[in-house]
């Protein structure tokens, strides 16, 4: 079951259950006897990347179930999406090493089949939640966690105000009387959106023509160096030609004198090594939803140019 985006938490046509939107890998876990399978939302298997979770679920006293949840990795300074990404490594020896160094946890928020093999898909969420709570209690493992929930919209708003700081990504709302609608956007997700003024330190061309496709964004660190923190590609087609001329006139290395755009990402189609540096003069305001590892976790949305802002004013303090 998927979620549709909204700007505010739903209150009408309920009752609603609210829960955190975790910043991890969505995962369905299946167990039958000693066989365990982990599937990503895309349908791709995840089990080989998280052998410690496969072993954990295989060792649970419950011999049969299907659950829906999120895989996360915790470090001493909190949850780390970067550490989670690193787990998707082709070498088995590396995976085994990382499973020891950065073990994953499984946060559960729905149960789709119970230990008796019954499908719970048509049951209302309140009954599926009760079955899930009983399952987690029987598991008795600190690495199989139950996602907290509330039916109090005021508390959900407080959770939302604290989201986007490396732990949760927002709030998901589900109808307490609703069934599990696989493949449908039957949930509602609300993210805490913030804005930041960023320096444009470079750009990338579109793949099929020499016009600007995305702006590379930077913020000044405590040492006064410009670090690359993300990108925005929401550029109006009507402005693309003039913007290309403007940025080409500013081309000058290094663009970023701190952390520059790095190697290709497993999760982004951005061509990380193919970019044009510019003098760090233009300032833009962008909207973002989540920060992790000192970077915008997703692509940002262009809001406006800020000619009234000096580049030196664009610092990491905006992310605090």
Whichever domain contains 145, its CATH number is: 3.30.470.30
In the block, tokens 């149960």 appear at 111
More confident residue, 106 or 268: 106
Instruction: Say whether 191 is catalytic.
Output: no
**Residues 250, 170 share a domain:** no
**Residues 6, 62 share a domain:** yes
pLDDT band for position 165 (50/70/90)? low
**Residues 108, 28 share a domain:** yes
Question: pLDDT value at position 249?
Answer: 97
Q: Tens of pLDDT along 57-87?
A: 999 999 999 999 999 998 876 778 878 888 9
Question: pLDDT value at position 273?
Answer: 64
Question: pLDDT value at position 266?
Answer: 42
Question: pLDDT value at position 268?
Answer: 45
Flag whether pLDDT at 138 surpasses 60: yes
Length of the chain: 320
Q: Which of 190, 211, 237 is the last residue of a domain?
A: 190
**Residues 111, 97 share a domain:** yes
Query: What does pLDDT average to over the chain?
Result: 91
Q: Which of 150, 165, 190 is the last residue of a domain?
A: 190
In the chain, DSSP finds a helix count (H) and a strand count (E) of 6, 18
In the predicted model, what is the mean pLDDT of residues 181-198? 89
Flag whether pLDDT at 164 surpasses 90: no
Question: pLDDT value at position 166?
Answer: 60
Q: How far is CA 297 from CA 87, 142, 167, 227, 249, in A?
A: 17, 27, 12, 15, 30
Flag whether pLDDT at 91 surpasses 50: yes
Q: Which two tokens stand for residue 215?
A: 């702006």
Residue 138, beta-bridge partner list: none
**Residues 230, 83 share a domain:** no
**Residues 262, 236 share a domain:** yes
Number of domains in the chain: 2
Q: Which two tokens stand for residue 51?
A: 């052998």
Look at residues 11, 68, 69 and name the one whose alpha carbon lies nearest to residue 188. Answer: 11
Flag whether pLDDT at 89 surpasses 90: no
Give the CATH number of the domain where residue 257 resides.
Answer: 2.40.50.140
**Residues 244, 120 share a domain:** no
Q: Which two tokens stand for residue 35?
A: 């066989």
Flag whether pLDDT at 320 surpasses 90: no
**Residues 7, 150 share a domain:** yes
Q: Which domain holds residue 36?
A: 2-190
Q: Which of 190, 209, 228 is the last residue of a domain?
A: 190
Q: Quick one: CA dihedral 276, 277, 281, 286, positive or negative?
A: positive
Render the burial of 195-227: b for 16+ CB within 10 Å, e for the rest. ebbbbbbbbbbeeeeeebbbbbbbbbeeeeebb
Reported for 84-87, long-range contacts at CB under 8 A and 24+ positions apart, including other chains, are 84/24, 84/25, 85/265, 85/266, 85/267, 87/49, 87/50
**Residues 215, 235 share a domain:** yes
**Residues 11, 124 share a domain:** yes
* Residue 149 C-beta-side C-alpha neighbours within 13 Å: 22
**Residues 206, 69 share a domain:** no
271 in Cβ contact with 288 (< 8 Å): no
**Residues 172, 208 share a domain:** no
Percent of the chain with pLDDT over 70: 95
The order of strands in the sheet holding 185-190 is: 2-5, 185-190, 168-175, 16-22
- Would you report the helix, strand and coil content of the chain in percent, each value rounded to 5? 20, 35, 40
In the predicted model, what is the mean pLDDT of residues 43-48? 92
Q: Tens of pLDDT along 248-293?
A: 999 999 999 999 997 544 434 444 568 999 999 999 999 998 888 8
Catalytic residue among 21, 31, 174, 191: 21
């Amino acid at each position: 079951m998927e979620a549709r985006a909204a700007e505010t938490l739903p209150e009408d046509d309920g009752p609603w259950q609210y829960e955190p939107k975790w910043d991890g890998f969505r995962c369905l876990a299946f167990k039958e006897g000693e066989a365990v399978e982990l599937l990503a939302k895309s349908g791709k298997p995840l089990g080989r990347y998280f052998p410690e979770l496969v072993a954990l679920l295989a060792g649970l006293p419950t011999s049969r179930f299907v659950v829906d949840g999120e895989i996360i990795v915790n470090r001493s300074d909190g949850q780390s999406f970067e550490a989670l990404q690193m787990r998707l490594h082709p070498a088995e020896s590396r995976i085994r090493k990382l499973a020891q160094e950065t073990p994953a946890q499984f946060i559960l928020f729905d149960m789709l089949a119970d230990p008796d093999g019954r499908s719970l898909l048509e049951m209302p969420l309140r009954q599926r939640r009760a079955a899930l709570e009983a399952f987690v209690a029987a598991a008795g493992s600190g690495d199989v966690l139950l996602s907290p929930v509330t039916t109090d919209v005021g508390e959900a708003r407080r959770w939302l105000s604290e989201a986007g700081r490396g732990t949760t990504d927002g709030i998901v709302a589900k109808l307490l009387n609703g069934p599990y609608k696989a493949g449908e956007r039957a949930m509602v997700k609300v993210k805490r959106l913030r804005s930041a003024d960023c320096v444009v330190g470079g750009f990338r061309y579109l793949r099929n023509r020499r016009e600007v496709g995305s702006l590379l964004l930077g913020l000044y660190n405590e040492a006064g160096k410009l670090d690359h923190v993300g990108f925005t590609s929401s550029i109006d087609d009507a402005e693309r030609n003039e913007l290309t001329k403007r940025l080409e006139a500013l081309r000058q290395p290094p663009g970023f004198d701190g952390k520059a755009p790095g190697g290709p990402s497993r999760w982004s189609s951005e061509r990380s090594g193919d970019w044009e540096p510019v003098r760090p003069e233009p300032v833009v305001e962008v909207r973002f939803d989540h920060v992790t590892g000192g970077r915008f976790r997703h692509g940002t949305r262009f809001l406006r140019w800020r000619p009234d802002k000096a580049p030196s004013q664009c610092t990491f303090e905006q992310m605090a």
